[in-house]
């Protein structure tokens, strides 16, 4: 199922859920084949954040 466009928290979490559900049904996430659910979730988070144009670690700005 295609991922939704957008960068809001709701859309990103929806995309993560979609990827994990796809992994449960088929096995692969994108081109990787995670063996455990924990690794599948980490891969789904990376894909969803990349699609949203965000980073996992927040950028700290010096004032």
Write out the chain's pLDDT in tens, 63 residues: 788 888 899 999 999 999 999 999 988 887 889 999 999 999 999 999 999 988 887 777 776
Q: Is 23 helix (H, G, I), strand (E, B) or coil?
A: helix
The whole-number pLDDT of residue 63 equals 67
Q: What angle is formed at CA 14 by the lines to CA 32 and CA 51, rounded to 5 degrees?
A: 55
> What is the reported pTM?
0.79
CA distances from 55 to 33, 51, 61 (A): 23, 10, 14
Q: Tell me, what's the pLDDT at 23?
A: 92
d(CA 39, CA 63): 37
Cβ proximity of 48 and 19 under 8 Å: yes
């Amino acid at each position: 199922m295609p991922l939704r466009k957008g960068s809001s928290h709701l859309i990103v979490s929806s995309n993560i859920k979609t990827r994990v559900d796809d992994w449960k049904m088929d096995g692969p996430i994108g081109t990787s084949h995670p063996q455990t659910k924990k690794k599948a979730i980490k891969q789904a988070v990376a894909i969803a954040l990349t699609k949203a144009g965000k980073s996992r670690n927040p950028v700290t700005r010096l004032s």
